[in-house]
């Protein structure tokens, strides 16, 4: 058994991470750090965990744990790590965007590997520090990796994706209140979303001659969780060629599934799956990609990365059924 610590334990991402860790046969939770909730039972904040754990939030950390999960707001992971030095044997998985880009991947001698298993599984296995990908970035990249890997991206890529309310976190703002979100739909950060940095970085790793633009329109949906991304680009091959390309690329990816039937969000909510569907219209290939933003887009992928880093079965603790009905 390995010992895990969680920093920033009160948010949606941390709640799902704790739920997964409690049901992982190779892990025990050593502490869940939250200064604002120190001394309170975890189930008082994450009410779905009542009856599952008697753990309390802590204001202290154990520097000798095996794996540390950082569930902090963007920009806060660097600040936290600059104040506390953990054991050299402690592996760190950061769920913020602090270390995802090449220009930020080294911090205080720690080298963070970008943790998208379908992109670089072998590097993750050898890593001691992981930068977990963003939720939009995960859904979109999984829709583009096979095309870039085959050097078939030859034109601009247009992306429209919608995320659930949990993507905005637990802090309230004018656009996260139920009365605003219910029966409503809106875009935000058009063409400038922060996850574009990750996406472009990956495309240039796989296809270094890709010089076209990626146009991304993120949207807010009136549901709680999930991401539905549609993207289209020019593609010279047939639909059958495209399916063969995707099926071959994801042959050894236990959580990325190719569907020849149209897909919908209920197939992935509460799972670590990404399901992809393809459609060809004239010279355009339409790729649909769906994930649960809190699992494959955050905590589930973090557990998947942990499994790879410690040599556990990649799907351990992640064999989850979708909330289909």
Task: State both tokens at 171.
Answer: 């802090």
Residue pair 43/77 in contact (Cβ under 8 Å)? The answer is: no
DSSP letters, 293-320, are: TTIIIIIHHHHHHHHHHHT--TTTT---
The answer to whether 71 is a known catalytic residue is no
Task: State both tokens at 325.
Answer: 């009905």
Q: Of the listed 49, 135, 145, 258, which one is catalytic?
A: 135
Count other C-beta atoms under 10 Å from residue 103's C-beta: 9
Q: Distance of CA 63 to CAs 17, 91, 112, 184, Å?
A: 20, 11, 19, 45
Q: Which residues 6+ apart lie within 8 Å of 77 measured at CB?
A: 70, 94, 96, 98, 99
Catalytic residue positions, numbered: 135
């Amino acid at each position: 058994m390995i010992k895990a610590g969680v920093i920033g334990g009160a948010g949606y991402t941390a709640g799902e991470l704790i739920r997964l860790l409690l049901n992982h046969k190779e892990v025990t939770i050593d502490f869940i750090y939250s200064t604002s909730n120190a001394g309170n039972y975890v189930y008082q904040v994450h009410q779905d965990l009542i009856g599952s754990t008697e753990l309390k939030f802590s204001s202290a950390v154990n520097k000798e744990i095996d794996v540390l999960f950082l569930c902090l707001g963007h920009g806060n992971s660097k600040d936290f790590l600059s104040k506390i030095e953990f054991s050299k044997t402690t592996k760190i998985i950061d769920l913020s965007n602090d270390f995802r880009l090449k220009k930020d991947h080294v911090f205080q001698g720690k080298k963070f590997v970008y943790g998208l298993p379908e992109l670089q599984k072998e590097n993750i296995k050898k890593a001691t520090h992981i930068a977990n990908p963003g939720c939009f970035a995960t859904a979109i990249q999984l829709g583009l990796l096979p095309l870039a890997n085959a050097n078939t991206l030859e034109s601009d890529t247009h992306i429209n994706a919608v995320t659930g309310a949990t993507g905005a976190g637990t802090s309230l703002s004018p656009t996260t209140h139920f009365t605003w979100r219910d029966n409503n739909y809106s875009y935000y950060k058009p063409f400038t979303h922060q996850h574009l940095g990750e996406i472009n970085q990956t495309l240039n790793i796989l296809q270094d001659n890709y010089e076209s633009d990626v146009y991304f329109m993120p949207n807010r949906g009136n549901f709680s969780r999930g991401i539905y991304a549609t993207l289209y680009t020019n593609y010279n091959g047939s639909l059958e060629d495209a399916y063969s390309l995707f099926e071959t690329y994801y042959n050894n990816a236990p959580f990325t599934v190719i569907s020849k039937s149209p897909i919908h969000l209920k197939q992935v909510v509460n799972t670590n799956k990404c399901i992809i569907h393809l459609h060809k219209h004239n010279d355009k290939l339409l790729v649909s990609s769906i994930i649960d933003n809190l699992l494959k887009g955050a905590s589930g992928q973090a557990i998947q990365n942990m499994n790879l880093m410690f040599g556990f079965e990649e799907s351990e603790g992640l064999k989850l059924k979708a909330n289909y009905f």
